[in-house]
Amino acid sequence: MTLVALAGMATAQALLDPLPHPKFVNPLPIPDVIDATAGGALTIDVTQFEQHLGLFDQMTGAPLPTTVWGYGGSYPGPTIVARRDVPLDILWRNLLVDSLGQPLQHLLPVDTSLHMAEPEGWPDSGVPIVTHVHGGHSESASDGLPDAWFTPGFAQLGPGFVQQTLHYDNDQEAGTVWYHDHALGITRLNVYAGLAGFFLIRDANEDALAAAGNLPIGAYEVGLAIQDRMFTADGQLYRPSFPEVPGAPDPSIQPEFFGDFILVNGEAWPVLDVEPRQYRLRFLNGSDSRFYNLWLVAKSNPDDPDGLLTGAPPMWQIGTDLGLLDAPALLRRLLLGPGERADVVVDFSDPQFAGWTFILRNDAKSPFPNGAVVDPRTTGQVMAFRVSLPLDPAYPPTSLPASLRPVYGPIQPLEPTPEVPPRQLILAEMTDEYGRLRPQLGTVVDGALMWGDPATENPLLGDTEIWEVYNSTADAHPIHLHLVSFQVLDRQKYRADVDPATNALANIRLIGQRRSPPPSEQGWKDTAIMYPGEVTRVVSRFDREGLYVWHCHILSHEDHEMMRPYYVGTNPGAGRTDLAGGDELTPTSARGQRVTAASAPNPFNPRTEIRFRLPLAADVSLRIYDVRGQAVRQLPGGRYVAGEHAVVWDGTNDAGQRVASGTYVYELRAGDQVVRNRMMLVK
């Protein structure tokens, strides 16, 4: 055991010591699978329970159960397997209540000084949650946005809450998507408690590879969710929360978190027994802040720096976050930032490997890339593979093909929309009102911006944009964009003059040559590592209208202002009000929910449909104005019940005459709320 002194406490906290803890003795857990390839509807509950995470009492050797949270009664949650273009509806229920139905309090200390999901009566009101399908091409209302949280039984709702059942079109290539909690200001805590799981999408291209014997399937396809944790001596989750600067709140958020136990699929340093064949491993870095730089080495030669002296099994990356590469890429190391995934095939078929055990090692510094060296005896090891099973003749061995895209063909480079200049964005470090380090996003011109500042990124629907992200901090950040899949174009070093008050950049000087991404990164991504002192360029097409967010996937950063809203379409202002709290409303109950509205198509000719959602029944008035503020058309109004509604405008005025091309504004009044959005008539 180790002892950690906590600020403001008279006694020290006894923690489990990772060094003597048994490693590579617990079998790797394989999460249950929910086959959702036929679509339909699911209900998945979030509950609290005890689970053995491979921990043992270091005095008696007895197994230690750990209280965790999970989807579907397990940590990690069940693996949801969906099918491309087969829609799926999921009701994520918050059942974090005790045996009497009373809301539970959080397992971990909560820093309420952050901008967070804080319902009335906290903490007795219960813990807010909201599920984000990370990598999903989802409508805004089902994206799991941070302000769309809800407490047990939907008793209290965040200001961005729209609907209980979330809809997933799954209209994207096969990929390693995952789901996790995303509640504002407490994502790091809810995920740490156990709220995460795999969400895999299948498609015809993957089917063709499997049918040709080019991809391992069934028991030979294994998801590996890697996370780091700390534990008290009795096996309970522990997370440091003491204030690092005088006068800061207690409990207080930390700049980053690096645990000293490595868990894979919720088990400390597990082992997987394998046959002498190829295995498809779906890697996920689900950690808060820790990067992983992974490679295999024979256990009999643990000092082998690269696994080459004794001949380690080759690793081929076949896919990135959101789809298969054009061709397999041979790996020497696999680097994963928090939130990133990699689809990898490892070949254990060499006869010399029979009976051998291989250790998956890690040497990524913390923070990455210039922080402390990992302990090779603990966090420098992840899991083991033991080549101990006989080859099952019922499943023929597989072999990787030269092309991984027999149905879809090679990945085509995205072409930016003409006359749309690259967006110049920044990653910055400021300090908050307590003097704590506060990582932020922003723009080159404006400098660092807060979560509640108006959205500065407003791509038009259908546009393809280049985002240039300048990292002026000392660390690498894995930046994640909701909704879209993007391509990494290049990276380049730079220097600039930094405004000390705002972190805005001026006099940017690019240094050296642009570096193209390595072959293992030349596929569809939703999260990319952005290195200190470099500008990273990504390109993406924004093809769904609505409100989304982009953020650092170091969860401690995301919770402490390193997240910003962006809006696709013609109405960023209304989107910002819905998500970032607006100027006057921060409702926490159903009665306080905002009215939402959008028009589609937009631009339009000659008709558009104005769709709106009412949280409660209300008297509705809907009027069209031109850009000068003159009334053009009064649309049908009256009393509407709670729910979704739509009114069509046919492009005529009150006299029945066609109006001219141009920008118009509809004003929707429902009770005491007003929504105004722009729309464009194009002839």
**Position 317 pLDDT exceeds 90:** yes
In a domain, 309, yes or no: no
pLDDT score at 575: 36
Of 256-260, 375-379, 489-493, 600-604, the least confident: 600-604
Is 600 found in the same domain as 542? Answer: no
In a domain, 43, yes or no: no
Domain containing 672 equals 595-681
Is 520 found in the same domain as 607? Answer: no
DSSP-assigned beta bridge partners for residue 438: 430
What distance, in Å, lies between the first and last C-alpha atoms of the chain? 74
Strand order in the sheet with 196-202: 33-35, 79-83, 196-202, 175-181, 131-134
DSSP state of 366: B
Global pTM reads 0.83
Give the pLDDT confidence of 332-344 residue by residue, as tens digits: 999 999 999 999 9
Is 553 found in the same domain as 613? Answer: no
How many C-alpha atoms does 442 have within 13 Å on its Cβ side?
25
Give the pLDDT confidence of 125-137 residue by residue, as tens digits: 999 999 999 999 9
Is 614 found in the same domain as 509? Answer: no
**Structure tokens that stand for 292 in this block:** 């992983």
Q: What b/e sequence results for 588-599 when a residue is b if at least 16 CB atoms lie within 10 Å of its CB, and e otherwise? A: beeeebbbbbbb
pLDDT score at 1: 55
In a domain, 434, yes or no: yes
Of 267, 432, 288, 278, nearest to 346 by C-alpha is 278
**Position 308 pLDDT exceeds 80:** no
Instruction: Share the mean pLDDT of the chain.
Output: 91
**Structure tokens that stand for 658 in this block:** 């066609």
pLDDT score at 510: 97
Q: How far is Cα 94 from Cα 70, in angstroms, rounded to an integer?
A: 10
User: Regarding predicted confidence, which is higher, 459 or 642?
Assistant: 459
Q: Specify the residue for token string 């993957």.
A: 206
pLDDT score at 511: 97
Is 446 found in the same domain as 569? Answer: yes
Q: How far is Cα 366 from Cα 77, in angstroms, rounded to an integer?
A: 27
**Position 307 pLDDT exceeds 60:** no
Q: Write the single-letter amino acid at 486.
A: F
Is 638 found in the same domain as 564? Answer: no
**Structure tokens that stand for 520 in this block:** 């293992």
Is 642 found in the same domain as 567? Answer: no
Cα dihedral 35→37→39→41 (10° resolution): 10
In a domain, 380, yes or no: no
pLDDT score at 615: 81
**Position 6 pLDDT exceeds 60:** no
Q: Mean pLDDT throughout 399-405?
A: 97
Last residue of a domain, one of 525, 543, 576: 576
Is 532 found in the same domain as 621? Answer: no
Of 62-76, 345-359, 480-494, 608-622, the least confident: 608-622
Is 567 found in the same domain as 427? Answer: yes
**Other CB atoms within 10 Å distance of the CB of residue 657:** 9
pLDDT score at 505: 96
Q: Mean pLDDT throughout 597-606?
A: 87
In a domain, 643, yes or no: yes
Is 669 found in the same domain as 568? Answer: no
Give the pLDDT confidence of 84-120 residue by residue, as tens digits: 999 999 999 999 999 999 999 999 999 999 999 989 9
pLDDT score at 582: 30
Q: Mean pLDDT throughout 543-569?
A: 95
DSSP state of 590: G
Is 604 found in the same domain as 571? Answer: no
pLDDT score at 246: 92
**Position 639 pLDDT exceeds 70:** yes
Of 133, 185, 190, 178, nearest to 158 by C-alpha is 185
Of 273, 149, 141, 171, nearest to 220 by C-alpha is 273
Q: What b/e sequence results for 515-533 when a residue is b if at least 16 CB atoms lie within 10 Å of its CB, and e otherwise? A: eebeebbbbbbbbbbbbbe
Last residue of a domain, one of 576, 603, 629: 576
Is 564 found in the same domain as 623? Answer: no
Q: Mean pLDDT throughout 524-541?
A: 98
In a domain, 662, yes or no: yes
For 140, the 3-state DSSP assignment is helix
**Other CB atoms within 10 Å distance of the CB of residue 112:** 13
Give the pLDDT confidence of 281-300 residue by residue, as tens digits: 999 999 999 999 999 999 86
**Position 399 pLDDT exceeds 80:** yes
Confidence of residue 580 (pLDDT cuts 50, 70, 90): very low
Q: Which residues, in sequence order, are CB contacts of 421 under 8 Å at separation 6+? A: none
The CATH number of the domain holding residue 489 is 2.60.40.420
Last residue of a domain, one of 576, 606, 631: 576
In a domain, 338, yes or no: no
Q: How far is Cα 71 from Cα 91, in angstroms, rounded to an integer?
A: 12
In a domain, 431, yes or no: yes
> What percent of the chain is modeled with pLDDT above 70?
93
Residues 333, 312 contacting (CB under 8 angstroms)? no
Q: How far is Cα 192 from Cα 195, in angstroms, rounded to an integer?
A: 7
Q: List for the chain the helix, strand, coil content (%; round to 5).
A: 5, 45, 50
Number of domains the chain contains: 2
Give the pLDDT confidence of 640-683 residue by residue, as tens digits: 877 778 899 999 999 999 998 888 889 999 887 888 888 888 87
The CATH number of the domain holding residue 642 is 2.60.40.4070
Q: Mean pLDDT throughout 58-81?
A: 96
pLDDT score at 304: 54
Give the pLDDT confidence of 172-209 residue by residue, as tens digits: 999 999 999 999 999 999 999 999 999 999 999 999 99
Q: How far is Cα 438 from Cα 428, in angstroms, rounded to an integer?
A: 9
pLDDT score at 300: 66
**Position 544 pLDDT exceeds 50:** yes
